[in-house]
Chain A
Amino acid sequence: MSAQHPLRAYRALLGSRVRAQASYRASFALDLLGSVGVGLLEAAEIYVIFHNVDALGGLGIGPALLVFALANLSFSLAGVVVGHLDELPTYLRAGTLDAMLLRPLPVLAQLVTSDVSLRRLGRAAVAVVVLVIALPLAVDQWTASAVAMLLLAPLTGAVIFGSLFVAAAGVQFWLIEGYELTNAFTYGSSYVSAYPASVLHVAVRSFFTFVVPAAFTAYLPTLVITGHPGPPGLPAWLGWFTPLAAVLTAAAGLACWRAGIRHYTGAGG
């Protein structure tokens, strides 16, 4: 492995992960099925709610499904790439990370390429199906800005969720035993983002918009796509700041990670 061709090294790492997953076919199929199950059961919650009501947080079933689909699509795409950063506390305890520190490649890049969870694509597939069902229900008139936002949202959303996972991983260097704390922000914002942010109390809503930008992954883009004005204090035009939110979250995530790795003093070996 030569330092002049780091890309080749990553390609080798990634390739081995993909081959490893493909070689245990039965196990991979079960994992994939589990992931589809996750997507379907998450959708069941929306189904049960709309079995009882016509609108939630001011959105009808079409726009509400669009929020759900966009949130799930970006979250599962992020999960494929960085979802396994969740396992960092296990790596820290086992001392696996120390081996990575010895290699002449950035640790985060090694961690990201050490596993790519293709099984999580099952949940993304469910999200795409819901998206296809939701779009004709949610959108009356297709404008250029609606199309642009529809293409932009899954990518910026994935960057936001991915950055939250990186930030959470960085914080793990301090927490270790209290690793569950960051779940409130990673899985918490995934849960929040799948629902109209308008259901939240204004203080909680502001937190999940301006501190942890969950509302930028699906709710605000949906307002732009459907031409819905949005609740007080959360105007639809804010949706156009989604790329900025993604860049800022990525910067914050990397900063957290760098601070964490600098703080790390080894597993004690």
Chain B
Amino acid sequence: MRSLLAYGVAGFRRYAAYRSATVAGAFTNTVFGVVKASITLAAIASAGGAIAGYDARQGATYAFLCQALIAPVAVFGSRELADRIRTGDIAVDLARPVDLQLSWLAADLGRAAYELLPRGLPPLLVGIAFFGLTVPHEVQPFALGAVSVLLAVAVSFACRYLLNLTAFWVVEMRGLLTLYMVGSNVLTGLVVPVHWFPGWMSALATATPFPSMLQAPVDVISGRAGGWDGATTVATQALWLVVMLGVGRVVTARATRRLVVQGG
């Protein structure tokens, strides 16, 4: 447990070291937020004031909350573990007396904890100043929202971990990474809320863990999913987390057995 905590602190410190990268990222997230909110608002206006229960204000709130969460949740994927697998550095990680999956999860939670405020606040402040975002007036959305964001980061990690493990079998995973990035872009609800999807597409999206990464926490924080709805939203996230971490463990076991055969 103490070593996992150390991994978490290291993850936090590591990202805190790159201040100008944080500023640059926050700027880019904000610019995209302005453009996305504009498209969302134009669509809502064109539909006569609301789409799937989102009025103008809620539409803009949705767009900016998504932009605020992109970095902590790491929606677009990552390839750091895959690079360690390809170079063989993974052998060092495996030799340590800590669980591979849990240590990377701890480091990723540390990273997310750092990125939450410096990457999340700027887009939200711009959204509040220029688009008049709505904020819930009760405590419940924030308390449950914190749990939901934590679960979102963990689900995203579990999926990225699995994606990276393919490096044990696939030599060049650029194509896979691109597909993951674009797939998550749509299925998390980042570009357009999943609630706007036509029936077949929303069925497809909800059959994947992706909506648990953005749509779910944004629904909870914005107060769209409150009470019983909020509870089931968070429960669904927890379920996906257990499933994806479980699959990750099975694949890790198979992959490391393979590594032993290959590298001795």
Contacts and interface: CB of A to CB of B under 8 A. Distances in A.
**Is B a genuine binding partner of A?**
yes
Interface string A18-31: 00000010010011
Contact of A180 (B25, B42, B197): B25
A255 B225 CA distance: 51
Contact of B182 (A41, A119, A178): A41
A238 to B, nearest CB: 20
B176 A30 contact: yes
A49 interface: yes
B33 to A, nearest CB: 11
B39 A195 contact: yes
Contact residue range for chain A?
35 or more
Nearest to A37: B179
A41 B186 contact: yes
A55 interface: yes
A45 B175 contact: no
Interface of B: 18, 20-21, 23-25, 27-28, 31-32, 34-35, 38-39, 41-43, 46-47, 51-52, 130, 171-172, 174-179, 182-183, 185-186, 191-192, 196-198, 201
A191 B198 CA distance: 23
11 contacts: A27-B171, A34-B175, A34-B179, A37-B182, A38-B182, A44-B201, A49-B196, A53-B47, A54-B46, A175-B20, A200-B38
A48 B24 contact: no
A181 B191 contact: no
Given A27-B171, A34-B179, A52-B196, 8 more contacts: A27-B175, A30-B175, A30-B176, A34-B174, A34-B175, A52-B47, A119-B175, A178-B24
A218 to B, nearest CB: 14
Nearest to B178: A34
Give the dominant DSSP class at A's interface.
helix
Contacts of A34: 174-179, 182
Nearest to B170: A30
Interface of A: 24, 27, 30-35, 37-38, 41-42, 44-45, 48-49, 51-57, 119, 175, 177-181, 183-184, 188, 191-192, 195-196, 198-201, 204
B186 A179 contact: no
B198 A181 contact: no
A184 B23 CA distance: 12
Contacts of B52: 52
B28 A199 contact: no
Given A178-B21, A184-B31, A41 B175 contact: no
A45 B186 CA distance: 7
A33 B175 CA distance: 7
Contacts of A183: 28
A48 B46 contact: no
Nearest to A176: B20
A52 B176 contact: no
A92 B178 CA distance: 24
Nearest to A42: B182
B37 to A, nearest CB: 10
A184 B27 contact: yes
A30 B23 CA distance: 34
Contacts of A37: 178-179, 182-183
A204 B34 contact: yes
Nearest to A55: B46
B97 to A, nearest CB: 33
Contact of B201 (A31, A48, A178, A179): A48
Contacts of A48: 191-192, 196-198, 201
